[in-house]
Structure 1
Amino acid sequence: MDPRISFVTLAVRDLDASRAFYVTGLGWTPELDVPGEVVMIRVGERLVLSLWDETGFEAEIGPIRRGDGVPPVALAHNVATREEVDAVLAEARALGAEVSGPQEREWGGYTGYLADPDGVRWEIAWNPGEIGQLVLP
């Protein structure tokens, strides 16, 4: 198997709230939108973010484990400047998202986090290192 991710799928409690956050709020364009089932958004050249109603997710994959705290996954959106980190976090805050940071990191970057309607954390990062530059468009 080649090292590649084609889809990132998030099981969401309220598909309408997720659509409002990602599509209406952030302005992302769905490639596929099936009300009550799934919203699929191209987020990279060959990468799709799939927001799947949790009922359908559980029917196909299995029961979702729940508990206190943050979901055990974080997604990242890297940008080219510190100012872009501030701008993205401000946009998310204006949409009502929970936002933490931004702050300087000990490894030399500048990051903050926002939470989508299901609490999934998105790291908004400026990473001046080689790995950070690798992922910029």
Structure 2
Amino acid sequence: EILIDQKTEKSLIEKSLNDKKEIWDKGEWAEKFWKIIRENDFKIIESNHYTINEKGEKKYNVKLFIEEKIKLNEIGENPLLQVNNSITKYSENTLLETLEKLEIKDIQIIPKQKSVSLFGKRGADGMVNVLTR
């Protein structure tokens, strides 16, 4: 907002947002940034995992997101699930069904390698971290 107020060249803002997307496009920040992006018609590379409305709210294609993460071997079939900072249990092989019941604001992945160091054997399949509305 400061850069916009200072009338910074649009292409510089777009470059910065695209270069730093992995930092701002998660958690509570994402919605605020996407709203500013929509309001100012910035050209920012969007993910194929979600769509964004004019308010900056994400609507995830959970099936596509999870299937891609499994295919890339970032997570296994039954990763730990954390919803709003609380580990949540689900029946084995029902991750997609469990996620599709949630009103998801944001999803982040903790890959297998990192989750094992954080959670030991429980993290062998990685972790899916979800923030709901």
Pair in the same fold by TM > 0.5: no
Q: Normalising by the residue count of structure 2, what TM-score does the alignment of the two structures yield?
A: 0.27
Structure with the bigger percentage of strand: 1
> Which of the pair is proportionally richer in helix?
2
Larger Rg: 2
